Copies of this chain bind each other. A is one copy, B any other.
Amino acid sequence: MALSYAIIGTGGIGGYYGGRLAHIGCDVHFLFHSDYEFVKQHGLQVDSVNGNILLPTPQAYHRTQDMPKCDVIFVSMKTVNNHLLKDMLMPILHEHSVVVLVQNGLGMEENLSHEIPHASIVGATAFICTTKVGPGLVHHAEYGTLTIAPYNECDINVLQQVVADFEKAAVSVNLGDDLLSIRWKKLVWNIPYNGLTVVLNAATNELTFNKDSRQIIIDLMTEVVEAGRCCGAKISDTFISKMIGMTEKMTPYSPSMRLDYEAKRPMEIETMYSNPIAIAKAHGYRMSKTEILEKQLRFIAATMY
CA distance A216 to B199 in the complex (A): 14
CA distance A303 to B202 in the complex (A): 9
Residue contact A219 to B291, C-beta cutoff 8 Å:
yes
1/0 contact trace for A283-295 toward B, CB 8 Å? 0000011011111
Residue contact B299 to A207, C-beta cutoff 8 Å:
yes
Residue contact A216 to B295, C-beta cutoff 8 Å:
yes
Q: Is A145 an interface residue (CB 8 A)?
A: no
Residue contact B210 to A296, C-beta cutoff 8 Å:
no
**Other-chain contact of A200, B210, B213, B289, B296 (Cβ < 8 Å):** B296
Q: Which residues of B contact A212 (CB under 8 A)?
A: 294-296, 298-299, 302
Chain A contributes a number of interface residues (CB within 8 A of B) equal to: 24
Residue contact B206 to A296, C-beta cutoff 8 Å:
no
**Other-chain contact of A213, B207, B289, B295 (Cβ < 8 Å):** B295
Q: Is A300 an interface residue (CB 8 A)?
A: yes
Closest-by-CB residue of B relative to A269 is B212
Q: Which A residues form the contact surface with B (CB < 8 A)? A: 199-200, 202, 206-207, 210, 212-213, 215-216, 219, 288-289, 291-296, 298-300, 302-303
Q: A200-B299, A212-B294 are in contact. List 18 more A-B contacts (CB 8 A).
A: A199-B200, A199-B296, A200-B296, A202-B299, A207-B299, A210-B299, A210-B302, A210-B303, A212-B295, A212-B296, A212-B299, A213-B295, A213-B296, A215-B295, A288-B288, A288-B289, A289-B292, A292-B292
